[in-house]
Amino acid sequence: MTLPARRRLSHSGQWAELSRDELTDHGVMLSIGGVEQSHVELGDPDFLLHDYLRRMRSVLTTWSAEQHGRVSGSVLHLGAGALTLPRWISHWRPGTEQTVVDIEPELVTFVLEHLPMTPAPENIVGDAATVLTAEGALSGRSFATVVVDLFNSAAAPAALTSPEFFRFVWAAVAPGGLMLVNMGDDAGMTFAKGLTQTIVDALALGPGCCLLSAPADVVEGEAEGNLVFAASHHTFSEAELGQIWAAGPHPAEVLSGDELQLWWGNTEPH
């Protein structure tokens, strides 16, 4: 493997680059348009550098235990990056069928050329906003887990933050399944709070079926950062919430039910 490696992406016209990072001994960083997108630790898929991925792992491992391993079914990833989470899931639950969707036709092929993954996930080139609609490539399919990792700020396209989008995503989650969303925001969390309420309202779920996990200072609006939102068909138990919090990373807040509702600013009964 020769790094750095670059590939022009035809949809955006930006350059994707894989390069060695300066933080770990065997890390590789994917940047698009000069902005870091993903980190892969070669030879160690259990190592997850980014905080939000470690929080997703905490939710998945706890929820999987609670649901007796049903997450070992299929997983859909909306947003491919360097396939960091698919690599971890494949290591954690060998044999899991995984599908990745990215709007850049060259991205997944470029990543796998330099950072192979066995087995490679099913690769769907398409717009996440439409791929699950009646005319989309994944119309009618369902998955045990759907991961939305598409945007990182209030600059996200409206088509990816609308109630309609999340209703299509939720329709693709199999009964007893799980949806995970990575969202980022500036200090104050205005975007994240609004998006959380949008998702909960769109899915017609009680807030007890949802949770939010993030660093404590991010939840409190004192710092910018990423938050992980999760939705299940069933209420998260107190024991489960405690296990997710304990799994970290720390310092952390895990909000659900009334606490989550108060956080997004809606104190009316849901």
- Per-residue pLDDT in tens (0 to 9) along the chain, 270 residues: 789 999 999 999 999 999 999 889 899 999 999 999 999 999 999 999 999 999 999 999 998 766 644 445 899 999 999 999 999 999 999 999 999 999 999 999 999 999 999 999 999 999 999 999 999 999 999 999 999 999 878 788 999 999 999 999 999 999 989 999 999 999 999 999 999 999 999 999 988 999 999 999 999 999 999 999 999 999 999 999 999 999 999 999 999 999 999 999 843 433
Pick from 147, 142, 157, 174: nearest CA to 228: 147
Tell me the pLDDT tens digit for each residue of 232-253.
999 999 999 999 999 999 999 9
Structure tokens at 98: 């995984």
Fold entry, domain 50-264: Rossmann fold (3.40.50)
Q: What is the pLDDT of residue 270?
A: 34
Taking only the tens place, the pLDDT of each residue in 94-132 is 999 999 999 999 999 999 999 999 999 999 999 999 999
* Whole-prediction pTM: 0.94
Phi first, then psi, for residue 233 (nearest 5°) are -75, -15
Domain ranges of the chain: 50-264
Instruction: Give residue 87's pLDDT.
Output: 97
